[in-house]
Structure 1
Amino acid sequence: MNAPTGQRASPERIRPSSLRPARLTLRPPTFPPGPVSGAWWPRSDDLPTELPALIEAFDRSWGRVTRMAAHRSAWPQAPCELPVAGHTVRAAWFTSGFDPHAIRLFAYGVGRRDLLVVPPGTGTATAGRLMTAAADPALRLTASALLADTRGSRPARDM
């Protein structure tokens, strides 16, 4: 799905019907937001391939996602624009001050959602625990703290 060098990929070339559904879990909207709003478990670390399914899920249920932000070390590719069905998402990349295990999505006029990114190679049982914890309104952990908690170190519950 790469555009030839020097050309932009066309958003119309990505068809929602051809996407595998995003593995996503979210906190109930009635609870106050926490450090994360839920979790996303991509199938690979290829963001241009994985992001369209995530954006499709949010576009349908929350509002059109126009921007995203992530830590630069989290993804091998860091394009400034990511084509998704019907539009393009602009990306901001950070090298410090941003949780390396999170992705932030912005929808114009709606707000933002921060999600734990469950590493693609994570086993099913561990990924399930992480996704459940990220959607639990009683837990107030950052994405990195959730991963550390699952790996055996027990950070404070009030982060």
Structure 2
Amino acid sequence: MTTTLSLHPPSARLRLGEQSFHDGSARRIDGAWWPRSYDLTAELPGLLAGLPHRWGHISSVLVNGAMWSLSGDGMLIEDERVHLRRTDLPRAEHTICLLAPGYGRWDLLVVPPTATEEEAEQLMETATVDAGQVGHTEMTRFGRRDASGDQLGDSGARLSAHDQQP
């Protein structure tokens, strides 16, 4: 099933790192993205519209299958087909991988939609300045909130003020 989206997507909350190349060492994070939800069909058009033209046409997107809601295996964005793929690899839990044939691959840290502005800013800064050295602990600590806004721990249980890390 293919979804067609275009027109005026909301602007992406996106920060890209200074360098988008890799030296053969561990894979770097190329930037950070703070979506408004985990609905990929709603969020992806804004993200792709915010990317630099030098990245080319993103033809394939790889996301964590447990985290994102999406229907079908692709969508049309501005009359271009974008293939959507899922992975269950733990190392991809908080990232989105963008592929553009002939241009390259870019990995973006995904800031949880429920993160506060302060949390998102801190994560985005760390991801772009420290070449993506944001650990799993920081990602699970930030943005995990229930419907009332209370912070949740790794198990999904509410954290008391005593349990929360600064």
Write the mapping of 1:136-155 to structure 2, written as runs, cut at 5 A: 136=129, 138-141=130-133, 144=136, 146-147=138-139
On the 8 A contact 1:58/1:64 being kept in 2, the answer is no
Cα deviation digits, residues 79-109 of structure 1 (max 9, x gap) = 3102211212101111235421110000111
Q: CA deviation at 1:27?
A: 0.9
Unmatched 5+ residue regions in structure 2? 144-163
- Correspondence for 1:65: 58
Counterpart residue number, 2:15: 25
Structure 2-normalised TM-score?
0.73
Q: Runs of 4 or more off by more than 4 Å in structure 1?
A: 30-34, 148-153
**How many Å separate the matches in 1 of 2:2 and 2:49?**
20
Alpha-carbon deviations, 1:46-91, whole Å to 9, x = none? 1101000111222634211000101101112253102211212101
| Structure with greater helix percent | 1
Distance in 1, matches of 2:114 and 2:92, equals: 19
Q: Alpha carbons of 1:61 and 1:73: their partners in 2 closer, same or farther (altered >3 Å)?
A: same
Structure 1 residues 70, 27: closer, same or farther in 2, change over 3 A?
Answer: same
User: Residue 46 and residue 37 in structure 1: after superposition, are their counterparts in 2 closer, same or farther (change >3 A)?
Assistant: same
* Cα distance in structure 2, aligned partners of 1:54 and 1:91: 14
| Alpha-carbon contact 2:40-2:68 (below 8 Å) kept | yes
Normalised by the size of structure 1, how large is the TM-score?
0.76
2:6 to 11, 14, 35: 14
Structure 1: gaps of 5 or more residues? 1-6, 154-159
Equivalent AA in structure 2 for residue 23 of structure 1: R
Give identity over the alignment, percent. Answer: 28
Instruction: Report the 3-state secondary structure (helix = DSSP H, G, I; strand = E; otherwise coil) of the residue aligned with 1:9.
Output: strand
- Cα RMSD of the aligned pairs, angstroms, is 2.7
Q: CA offsets, 1:9-52, max 9 Å, x none?
A: 34xx511xx12211101111276475311100001111101000
Matches within 5 A, 1:5-154: 8-10=2-4, 13-15=5-7, 18-29=8-19, 32=22, 34-58=27-51, 60-96=53-89, 98-136=91-129, 138-141=130-133, 144=136, 146-147=138-139
Cα contact 1:71–1:98 (8 A) shared by 2: no
8 A Cα contact 2:28 2:131, kept in partner: no
Change (3 A) 1:100 1:61: same
Which amino acid counterpart does residue 71 of structure 1 have in structure 2? N
Instruction: Give the direction of change, closer, same or farther, for the CA distance of 1:69–1:19 in structure 2 (3 Å limit).
Output: same
Q: Does the 8 Å contact 1:9/1:83 carry over to 2?
A: yes
